[in-house]
Every structure is written in C-alpha cells, then in structure tokens.
C-alpha cells in the first residue's frame, strides 16, 4: 500500500504534466498570449487605481517586469567576456551566428503573466497594502527604467546586434504546383 506522500507526488506530477501541456499548446498563439497578458495588466492597474493602494506591490511588479524585459533583450552569452560571439556584419566570410536571447519570448510571457496573477491576488490581502508616497516610487521607477534602457541600448550599439527580427531576411515557402488543371 502506498503511503500518503507517494500519492501526493503522483498527483503533483499529473497536475504538472497537464500544466506544461497547456503552456506548450499556447506556444504558437503569440499575439493572443500577449493580448491576454495585456488584459491582465489592465485589470491589475484598474484594481490598484480603484483601491488607491497596493503601490508597493505595483512597484515590485514593475521592477520584476523590467528585469525580465532586460533579460529578453540581452544575448544569452554576453559578448563582453567572449571574443566576438555575436555577428558583427552580414558578410559571407563570417559564420552565421543567430541572436539567442538570455530569456526566450515564451518564458518572458510566462514569467510576466505569472507575476501579474500573483500581484493581482496580493491586492486581495490587506497586509500588502503598505502606505507609501507613490509619486516617489513612480519617479524612481522611471529613472531606473531610463538608466537601464540607456545601458542596454549602448550595449546593443557597441556589439552591433538587434534582438528583434526587423530587416532580417524571411524565407516564404512557395505554394505547391497543381498537378491537374481544372
């Protein structure tokens, strides 16, 4: 006879497998996933404004999302420590080295959505409604965002990489020829 902890472990494994399947099935729906996350952000912000509180929770969420966004924009292997790991030009003499993110898009979406859900549920717990002077938090967050983005953009310019696909060549699959004409 199985003991209680083994049964709990089996249930946890089944729940985890179903969770991962749902996340994997959502993978191809890029715009729909981000639209849902945007809606969650709207609902969260609406709740914070309506309650006139939970500014510290909002600030912590903002810092976390900023950190995740910086990881999303950064290369997996930092070129400062390595000798030219990122492609510096489009010449045919160089090997093709694609841009690999430190945090893939799907992971970024999952982390952002999870953080939003946790923050939303924290707004139902009065313990987290700590009174703070929110304009100072807002000014500090804007300054932090500006400084972080300035450093990230300087890094991108220095090592000549773009973390998005603008201007990259796309190959479109041609339609298969018809064997019989109508």
pLDDT 10s digits, 47-91: 999 999 999 999 999 999 999 999 998 888 877 766 555 555 555
Strand partners, 46: none
Contact criterion met (CB below 8 Å) for 56 and 130 = yes
Averaged pLDDT, 37-55? 96
Averaged pLDDT, 86-108? 70
Helix extents (H) in 27-133 = 30-51, 55-73, 105-122
Distance CA 130, CA 149 (A): 29
With a cut of 70, say whether residue 93 has pLDDT above it.
Answer: no
Q: What is the predicted pLDDT for the residue at 175?
A: 67
Determine how many CB atoms are found less than 10 A away from the CB of residue 61: 22
More confident residue, 2 or 26: 26
Averaged pLDDT, 30-48? 96
Distance CA 85, CA 31 (A): 31
Q: What is the predicted pLDDT for the residue at 119?
A: 97
Q: What is the predicted pLDDT for the residue at 156?
A: 84
Pull the structure tokens for residue 138.
């807002």
With a cut of 90, say whether residue 120 has pLDDT above it.
Answer: yes
Distance CA 171, CA 40 (A): 35
Distance CA 26, CA 33 (A): 7
Distance CA 145, CA 67 (A): 10
Closest CA to 34 of 119, 102, 115, 113: 113
Q: Please enumerate in sequence order all residues whose Cβ is within 8 A of that of 94, keeping only pairs 6 or more positions apart, or say none.
A: 87, 88
State pLDDT tens for residues 9-27. Answer: 999 999 999 999 999 999 8
More confident residue, 181 or 47: 47
Distance CA 44, CA 62 (A): 12
Q: How confident is the model at residue 165 (pLDDT cuts 50, 70, 90)?
A: low
State pLDDT tens for residues 133-162. Answer: 999 999 999 999 999 999 998 888 888 777
Q: What is the pTM of this model?
A: 0.77
Distance CA 42, CA 46 (A): 6
Q: What is the predicted pLDDT for the residue at 144?
A: 95
Q: What is the predicted pLDDT for the residue at 75?
A: 87
């Amino acid at each position: 006879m199985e003991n209680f902890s083994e049964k709990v472990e089996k249930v946890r494994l089944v729940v985890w497998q179903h969770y991962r399947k749902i996340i994997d099935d959502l993978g191809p729906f890029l715009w729909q996933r981000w639209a849902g996350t945007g809606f969650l952000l709207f609902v969260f912000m609406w709740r914070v404004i309506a309650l006139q509180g939970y500014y510290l929770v909002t600030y912590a969420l903002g810092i976390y999302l900023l950190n995740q966004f910086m990881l999303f924009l950064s290369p997996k292997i930092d070129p400062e420590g390595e000798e030219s790991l990122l492609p510096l030009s489009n010449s045919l003499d160089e090997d093709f080295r694609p841009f690999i993110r430190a945090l893939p898009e799907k992971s970024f979406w999952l982390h952002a959505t999870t953080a939003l859900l946790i923050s939303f549920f924290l707004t139902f717990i009065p313990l987290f409604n700590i009174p703070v002077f929110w304009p100072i938090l807002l000014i500090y967050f804007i300054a932090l965002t500006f400084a972080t983005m300035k450093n990230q953009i300087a890094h991108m310019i220095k090592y000549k990489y773009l973390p998005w696909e603008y201007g990259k060549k796309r190959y479109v699959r041609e339609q298969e020829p018809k064997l019989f004409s109508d």
